[in-house]
Every structure is written in structure tokens, then in C-alpha cells.
Structure 1
Amino acid sequence: MIAAKENVPKLTPEEYFAWEEKQLEKHEYIDGEVYAMSGGSKNHSLISVRFITLFSNHLEDSSCETGNSDLRVNIVETNDYTYPDVSVTCDDRDKATTQYITYPCLIVEVLSPSTEAYDRGGKFRMYRNNPNFQDYLLVSSTSIEIDLYHKNEAGDWLIINYKEGDTVELKSINLKFSIEHVYRGLVLTPESENSQTA
């Protein structure tokens, strides 16, 4: 997803929720400012759906919940809200909220050229405020590449780069899968992202 700052006065969180209900598109909310979320490429959408299906099927007999890009994530101890492409929470506290979750253990962002730096930098720094957060997947939509940021038992973040032929391991939800499973049948070219609008 691509974020663009809107020309809207600063809002309180309550005003943001009320305002966004009347909008035609989704908006992230950071430091009182709203940012419109525009659509991504076809590959971006297909990859997101594959992760949602994979996680939902794997977790169907658990208490965990898988959210799509319509589910807000509240950044812990802030009034900031983002819309990741895919999120998974296994925390009972998230069952008590209806408009967002706060304690995901896993987040997936499908990368776009215009948002990759933010996804790897500022957004990741915000997500790390959550003590339950263990796995952050950054997924290319133009080549068979996935970067996993994983928090180990010592609390250190490790970066694991997956490429064609690799098996991805998500310890947060006890899942292993072939990287090709996500990319099956997709036409992967840099041009697939170039037609996006900012």
C-alpha cells in the first residue's frame, strides 16, 4: 500500500475514527496526521491474499486471528494506527477491541517502491514497541525474495533473507512453508510496480 499525507487538520484519535468512517479510502494515523492508503499492484494483492489464506488455514484450530489490510494496528503506548497488509494476533487483549488490534505477533508488508524505505525503517521502529511482536515479513512483489526480521529469545532482531528454493520459518505461529508457495503462477517483473500512482 502507498501512503500519501492528506490535507486535513490534526485530529484526535476519536475524531480520526469518526472521520475515517465517512471516507471512501483507508487512512493511517500518525502523530495526529492522516495518510491516505492507495492500492498496490495485482501481485501485491495476490501475495497478500496468499499469506492470509496460508495463515488462516494454519491457525484455524487456534485462538489466533489473521487480519487483512482493513484491520488497523494500534502502535503500543501511542495513539498511532497503521494498516499492514497482513497481521496475526494471538493475544486475548485484542479480542476486546472492535476497530483495531494492538498486540500482533506477526506482520506482513508487501513492498512497493514508494514505501519500502518506510516499511524497513520508521514503520518497523514503531512496530517494535510491541513486546509480543516476533516476526516481520517484508515481501517483494517483483522477485522471489522475502526478508524476515525475527526477534530471538534474547530480544535481538535478526534479519533472514529468503530466496528461491528456501523454506520460510515463522516461529511466532510455528509455521514453515516453501517460498514458491507464495509466488506460484505470478509474473514477476519490475514493471508490475511501475504503473502505481502515488
Structure 2
Amino acid sequence: MASLQVEKRFDAAAYVAWEETQSERHEYLAGDVFAMVGVRQAYNVASGNLYSRLRRELKGSPCRVFIESVKTHIEAADSFFYPDVLVTCDPRDRLTPNYVSHPVLVAEVLSESTAGFHRGGKFAAYRKLDSLQEYVLIDVAAQCIEVFRRDAGNHWVLYDYGPDDDVEFSSLGLRVPIEDLLEDTREDGTEQLVAAAERP
């Protein structure tokens, strides 16, 4: 999701209190506040596809899945972000109703305006979360998914997934066909045209 800088500066505690009074969402990075702006339909569909699949697969487990409107607190980076989808399996996160601090998986849907920040500064901040095992980037335009996975040596390894692949979320013990996660996200309308042509 894209963002615009707001002419306000806070410390983290003041930001959390202020954000609770706002009708729109804002991210926080070391004192700077950024208003979240709308996204294209396809990006929202991609977030929903991932959320609904993970929610279904993790039902009955200790893990909770959130979409878009729950903040992640990264204390080591003095940041609060709103990831498109996040998963936490840590009971400590049930004690902080305004945010999550121990996600195991974070996913972001890329746009032209946000791709650089998601791959750079935001990923650098997320890597400071000891709990985080996988960082997922969904590229709707390219119809692919990248998963950065933390290995046993604390290095982040990139796994690329394209057409016909099953996307592995090893932190959750799941594999999901990429076609399920990218369903109905082609912006040229080809999926709908093919479906219509196949109907009797």
C-alpha cells in the first residue's frame, strides 16, 4: 500500500495514542508518520486470497492471521507498519490489542510506488524482528511471489515462485498453489474473459 508523509512527528507512544483517534491509517518510522492511501483492486484481491487461505489452513492452531488493519511493532527499528497480511503464533501478541510484535510471517503486495521501500527500508526493519521467519512479496504485475526465508545461520534466502508452482510457507508447514494466491488478480481481464468463454 502506498503512503504519503504527514507533517507530524511523534515518539512511539504518542504515535500509538494518536493513531487510535484517526479515521485513516498511518505508518510510523523513527518519528515520521505516513498516511496510507488506497490500492488497486487487484492488490486487495491478492491480500484477501492469501489471508483467506492462511486463515482456513491455520484454523484451530495457536496462530492468528491478520489482514491490512493490524499494526506490526518493530521496537528495534522504532517503527509501526501495517503489513498486508501477517501471521503470529506467539501468545504474547494476544496481550497487546493495538499491535503485533512477534509475527512469524509478514506479506506485502507490491505496487510501482511501494516496491522499492518494501524490498529495501521496510524489509531492513522487518529483519530486526527475531520472531520473523518469512517475508513474502506478492508481485501482481509480474504474477509471481517471492519468499525471503531466514535460514539456520540467520541469513535471508530468496525463493522465487512462478506459474504452476506451489508456494511454500515453511514457517507454517504449508504449501499453496500460486494460482490460488493470484486468482482474479490479472488486471487485463483475461481470467474473466477465459472463464466466460468456457461457460456453456
Normalised TM-score (structure 1): 0.91
- Secondary structure of 2:160's match? strand
Tell me: higher relative CO, structure 1 or 2? Use CA pairs within 8 A at least 6 residues apart.
Answer: 1
Given that 1:143 and 1:188 are in contact with CA atoms closer than 8 Å, whether structure 2 keeps it comes out as no
* % same residue: 32
Cα drift, residue 37 of structure 1 = 0.6
Partner residue of 2:176?
A: 177
**Letter of the 2:183 counterpart:** R
Instruction: State how far apart, in whole Å, the 1-side matches of 2:185 and 2:115 are.
Output: 20
Cα drift, residue 185 of structure 1 = 3.0
Cα drift, residue 12 of structure 1 = 2.2
Deviates more, 1:21-30 or 1:74-83: 74-83
Could you list the structure 1 runs, at least 4 aligned residues long, displaced by more than 4 angstroms after superposition.
none
C-alpha RMSD of matched pairs (Å): 1.2
Q: How many residues align?
A: 188
Partner residue of 1:122?
A: 121
Instruction: State how far apart, in whole Å, the 2-side matches of 1:155 and 1:164 are.
Output: 29
Partner residue of 2:3?
A: 3
Instruction: State how far apart, in whole Å, the 2-side matches of 1:24 and 1:172 are.
Output: 34
**Letter of the 1:33 counterpart:** D
Cα drift, residue 187 of structure 1 = 2.5
What do residues 78-134 of structure 1 show as CA deviations (whole Å, max 9, x unaligned)? 431000000001111111111001110100000010010100011011001111111
- Secondary structure of 1:106's match? strand
Q: How does 1:36-115 map to 2 (within 5 A)?
A: 36-115=35-114
- Secondary structure of 2:116's match? helix
- Secondary structure of 2:168's match? strand
Flag the structure with larger Rg. 2
- Secondary structure of 2:7's match? coil
Structure 2: gaps (5+ residues): 189-200
Cα drift, residue 76 of structure 1 = 3.6
Given that 2:137 and 2:147 are in contact with CA atoms closer than 8 Å, whether structure 1 keeps it comes out as yes
Partner residue of 1:166?
A: 165
Instruction: State how far apart, in whole Å, the 2-side matches of 1:109 and 1:148 are.
Output: 11
Given that 1:76 and 1:103 are in contact with CA atoms closer than 8 Å, whether structure 2 keeps it comes out as no
Structure 1: gaps (5+ residues): 190-198
Instruction: State how far apart, in whole Å, the 2-side matches of 1:7 and 1:177 are.
Output: 42
Given that 2:133 and 2:150 are in contact with CA atoms closer than 8 Å, whether structure 1 keeps it comes out as yes
Given that 1:144 and 1:180 are in contact with CA atoms closer than 8 Å, whether structure 2 keeps it comes out as no
Cα drift, residue 16 of structure 1 = 1.3
